[in-house]
Amino acid sequence: MPRPAACLFDLDGLLLDTEPSHAEAWSQAAAHFGLQLGAAQLLQLRGRRRLDCAHLVQAWIEAGSFRPVASDELLALRQPIAEKLLAQAPAMPGAEALIGRCQQLGIPMALATSSSREAVSLKAAPHPWLAAIETRVHGDDPQLQRGKPAPDVFLLAAERLGVEASHCWAFEDSPAGAQAARAAGCQVHVLRPEAIAPVLYPPGVRWLNSLAAVPLD
């Protein structure tokens, strides 16, 4: 494959091993209102913006005939749990080396994440190598109209790098993120968690066994 014009990276579950922490925080918050989140529901939350997740959990609580709950109330319970767990999230194997290879090869990079700017700062603090990705689109970016699985985050990231999204490689782990990148026209590389079936991803993605297997050169 020709070298990409740019690489667009998801963060959670791709560069940092944060997804177990997110799942635990949402599970604890939902349980406070009497809802036990199942594996299929937690999968639906993966890769999406915090507020979008809150709206989903809120709907599940109300559909289960539990008492109505405001998304702000749900987030007030979830956030302290998430922040404590996420501050300790390790890097995914091969992530630091992959970013270093992009630097060495002069390939422009951008972060295309559903996480807010504040959340990224918290999670990235123990990982100074992430500072190499200077161009970033956060989930609360004022220019971001829609979150994943809509393509907006990848289109905006490519625009800020001054390249066409169709000339970019996007790296994702979640079905929602892969759908977003595919809809943006990117060449999508997926580091798929074992618990997620391939059929949930859009056609045409390239599967990665590890981040060390990316054929950049």
Query: For residue 39, what is the domain's CATH number?
Result: 1.10.150
Between 149 and 69, residue with greater pLDDT: 149
Q: State how far the Cα of 190 lies from the Cα of 214, in Å rounded to an integer.
A: 10
Q: pLDDT at position 67, please?
A: 74
Domain count, the chain: 2
Residues 81 and 134 placed together within one structural domain of the fold: no
Containing structural domain, residue 28: 19-86
Helix H or strand E segment including 112: strand 109-112
Q: pLDDT at position 68, please?
A: 81
Residues 115 and 192 placed together within one structural domain of the fold: yes
**Is 1 within the bounds of a domain?**
no
pLDDT tens sequence across 117-146: 999 999 999 999 999 999 999 999 999 999
Residues noted as catalytic:
10, 12
Q: pLDDT at position 1, please?
A: 64
Q: State how far the Cα of 48 lies from the Cα of 177, in Å rounded to an integer.
A: 8
Residues 104 and 207 placed together within one structural domain of the fold: yes
Q: State how far the Cα of 197 lies from the Cα of 20, in Å rounded to an integer.
A: 18
Residues 95 and 144 placed together within one structural domain of the fold: yes
pLDDT at 83 over 80: yes
Nearest to 51 by CA among 135, 190, 148: 148
